[in-house]
Chain A
Amino acid sequence: MSIPLLAAHGLSVEIGGRRVAHALDLTIESGQRLAILGCNGAGKSTLLATLAGLREPASGRIELGGSPYAALTPRAAALRRAWLGQMQSDPFGSTVLETALTGRHPHLGRWDWETTRDADLACSALAAVGLAGMEARQIHTLSGGERQRLAIATLFAQAAPLYLLDEPLAHLDLNHQMAVLELFTGAARDCGAGVVMVLHDPALAHRFCDQALLIDGDGHCELGAVDTVLTAEKLSALYGYRLRQFEIDNQRCFVPD
């Protein structure tokens, strides 16, 4: 059996004295897609940042490609997983291409400068998210959705086998939501990438992921195949609002009652 891209054993995560996850076991194999769903403030981002090795868990082990984070340098970890944060703040000016090129950082030595190959990779990543031709634009002239797609292009330039995405669809219009989800599921299907994403739309989670993790905010988590976990009954309890479920052309839809 191959080593999973990400494995968590007995993981407990706490923030501000509140328990987000307790004794959670989780593995992401090559090609797997996991959706994390929960109410605002349930701790989805905290859990994701913990899985990305950006904050310490309260207890438990996390292994990235078989090695705990403590055994990996930040750069080695960056070659194994890419993380998309929720907030892109840019106090200083920069161009779109320069920003996408930051994804190449872990691939470059200390004294290396980006080569034309790095620039080509960054440009094709930009083209993949529909930002072709905007390489020279200043980032503070971008719209929220364009800035989000640039952050996603930076992730593709990083070319790590595991993507940890905190609300990848934030600020995106419907067209780009679908395009981005198809990009990541395509990377999982064609390149064997693992994808973990925090989503707010259970129908999209059902359509684009094979596993789902529901976080209720009290430390209780439920993990399983999307077909068993993403049901009207469980989601109604999760969000505290009654949902109705429909099947249209084998796709599950959820409509607020």
Chain B
Amino acid sequence: MPDRRRALLVLATLVLLALASFWAALAAGSIPVAATDVLAALLGHDAPGADIVRQLRLPRALAGFACGGLLALAGALMQVLLRNPLADPYILGISGGAGVGALFAIMVGLPTLGIDGLAFAGALGAMFLVFGLAHGDGSWTQTRLLLTGVIVAAGCGALISLMLAIAPEDRLRGMLFWLTGDLGQAASAWPPMLALAIALVLAMPFARELNLLARGLMQAQALGVAVNRLRYAIFLLASLATAASVTTAGSIGFIGLVVPHLVRLVTGNDQRLLLPASALAGGALLMLADTLARTLIAPQQLPVGVLTALIGVPVFLFLLSRQGK
């Protein structure tokens, strides 16, 4: 039976996990910083490596936590909205739209702010395009929404390939890093942190209604859920959360797909626990993956999207093969 005390216990455990991951992100790197020095740096004292921790690693760790949390939350919401366990935050073309915007900005040589601005504009454009087309005749069925999203994503994919083909040689590396996701490009950690907090605060009051939505539209309606309004709200919320993350760190893969499934294995499918737990676990996992991406072959950095996918693909295949039994 769903139990508030058990939920708090699971969340407390995940908070500890996130803190451990946070500490690793601050301490590890090409210049290791001792635990006591990390603490001193966080408290604003002077210590060996304090500048590295405060100016380089802290914003990056926070951005990682926020983006991981946003992606996992958006993934969990999309899976309920589409009633499809294989849905992820990018399935409806949000990251594709952002990708078109960001790559265009990189190709023509805009500064970071321009890249972020165009990425966010692209994500919003894709969102409204999918919303308008899927809504169309007012039926707004899951199949229609999914099909529209997948088609828009495919269109964006074609534009991205086109830009990669015609982009000047020296811009290609930046474009590829953006596409696989890179927390090093995060300008500031606060916008995504704020977005994560707002998204959670907006989603949580509807968590029990989402449980019903996952069981079927008419069932949910019959049990007292204002289904259409809830679906619009969830679509907008998940899309904006995805846009916030993609704008910050590019399209980091697999967090949004795998984390809700991993959490579901432990907690079951009660959204009241699943949503905050996914946000915490997603944040912790992305901070960890990013730390690995910085340190595995330091001083060279790997794109974090490659690591999340390398961790995510086998885990997901394992889960999928278990599900069949």
Q: From residue B25, how far is it (CB to closest CB) to chain A in Å?
A: 32
Of A82-90, A199-207, A238-246, the one contacting chain B is: A82-90
Report the nearest B residue to A116, measured CB to CB: B1
Whether the pair A74, B85 counts as a contact (CB closer than 8 A) is no
A4 to B270, CA, bound (A): 37
A74 to B270, CA, bound (A): 21
Whether the pair B218, A158 counts as a contact (CB closer than 8 A) is no
Chain B residues lying within 8 Å of A9, measured Cβ to Cβ, are: none
Report the nearest A residue to B206, measured CB to CB: A110
- The residues in B between 208 and 229 inclusive whose CB is less than 8 angstroms from any CB of A are 208-209, 211-212, 214-216, 218-219, 221-227
Q: Does A17 contact B (CB under 8 A)?
A: no
Q: Does B2 contact A (CB under 8 A)?
A: yes
Chain B residues lying within 8 Å of A158, measured Cβ to Cβ, are: 223
A101 to B208, CA, bound (A): 11
B205 interface neighbour in A90, A105, A111, Cβ under 8 Å? A111
Contact (A92, B1) CB under 8 Å given A74-B226, A98-B270: no
Whether the pair B264, A92 counts as a contact (CB closer than 8 A) is yes
Whether the pair A92, B85 counts as a contact (CB closer than 8 A) is yes
Most chain B C-beta atoms within 10 Å of own C-beta, residue among A49, A74, A79, A114? A74
Most chain A C-beta atoms within 10 Å of own C-beta, residue among B1, B212, B214, B264? B1
Whether the pair A91, B224 counts as a contact (CB closer than 8 A) is no
Q: Does B269 contact A (CB under 8 A)?
A: yes
Most chain A C-beta atoms within 10 Å of own C-beta, residue among B85, B208, B226, B268? B208
A94 to B215, CA, bound (A): 10
Q: From residue B11, how far is it (CB to closest CB) to chain A in Å?
A: 14
Contact (A102, B215) CB under 8 Å given A91-B84, A93-B264, A119-B1: yes
Whether the pair A78, B85 counts as a contact (CB closer than 8 A) is no
Q: From residue B3, how far is it (CB to closest CB) to chain A in Å?
A: 8
Chain B residues lying within 8 Å of A54, measured Cβ to Cβ, are: 218, 221-222
Q: From residue A122, how far is it (CB to closest CB) to chain B in Å?
A: 8
Q: From residue B107, how far is it (CB to closest CB) to chain A in Å?
A: 40
A81 to B223, CA, bound (A): 9
A87 to B222, CA, bound (A): 14
Q: Does A192 contact B (CB under 8 A)?
A: no
A87 to B217, CA, bound (A): 11
Whether the pair B223, A102 counts as a contact (CB closer than 8 A) is yes
A: contact size bracket: 35 or more
Whether the pair A103, B2 counts as a contact (CB closer than 8 A) is no
Q: Does B83 contact A (CB under 8 A)?
A: yes
Whether the pair B208, A98 counts as a contact (CB closer than 8 A) is no
B212 interface neighbour in A52, A73, A88, A105, Cβ under 8 Å? A105
A85 to B220, CA, bound (A): 11
Contact (A106, B223) CB under 8 Å given A94-B269, A95-B268, A101-B1: yes
Chain B residues lying within 8 Å of A180, measured Cβ to Cβ, are: none
Q: Does B4 contact A (CB under 8 A)?
A: yes
Q: Does A18 contact B (CB under 8 A)?
A: no
Contact (A93, B268) CB under 8 Å given A101-B1, A119-B1: yes
Whether the pair A49, B218 counts as a contact (CB closer than 8 A) is yes
A91 to B224, CA, bound (A): 21
Q: From residue A93, how far is it (CB to closest CB) to chain B in Å?
A: 6
Chain A residues lying within 8 Å of B219, measured Cβ to Cβ, are: 85, 102
B224 interface neighbour in A52, A98, A106, Cβ under 8 Å? A106
Q: Does A214 contact B (CB under 8 A)?
A: no
Chain A residues lying within 8 Å of B227, measured Cβ to Cβ, are: 74
- The residues in A between 93 and 123 inclusive whose CB is less than 8 angstroms from any CB of B are 93-95, 97-99, 101-103, 105-106, 108, 110-111, 113-114, 119
Contact (A110, B205) CB under 8 Å given A77-B224, A82-B222: yes
A199 to B202, CA, bound (A): 43
A113 interface neighbour in B4, B84, B209, B264, Cβ under 8 Å? B4
Whether the pair B215, A90 counts as a contact (CB closer than 8 A) is yes
A89 to B214, CA, bound (A): 10
A101 interface neighbour in B2, B85, B269, Cβ under 8 Å? B2
Chain A residues lying within 8 Å of B4, measured Cβ to Cβ, are: 113
Q: From residue A82, how far is it (CB to closest CB) to chain B in Å?
A: 7
Chain A residues lying within 8 Å of B1, measured Cβ to Cβ, are: 97-98, 101, 114, 119
A91 to B264, CA, bound (A): 13
Given contacts A98-B1, A102-B211, list 14 more A-B pairs with CB under 8 A: A73-B226, A74-B221, A74-B224, A78-B223, A82-B222, A83-B222, A85-B222, A91-B85, A92-B79, A94-B215, A94-B268, A105-B209, A106-B224, A114-B2
Leading 6 A-B pairs by shortest Cβ distance: A78-B224, A75-B224, A106-B224, A83-B222, A92-B269, A74-B224
Sampled A-B contacts (15; CB under 8 Å): A54-B218, A74-B225, A74-B226, A81-B222, A91-B83, A91-B85, A101-B1, A105-B223, A105-B225, A106-B223, A111-B205, A113-B4, A113-B272, A114-B2, A158-B223
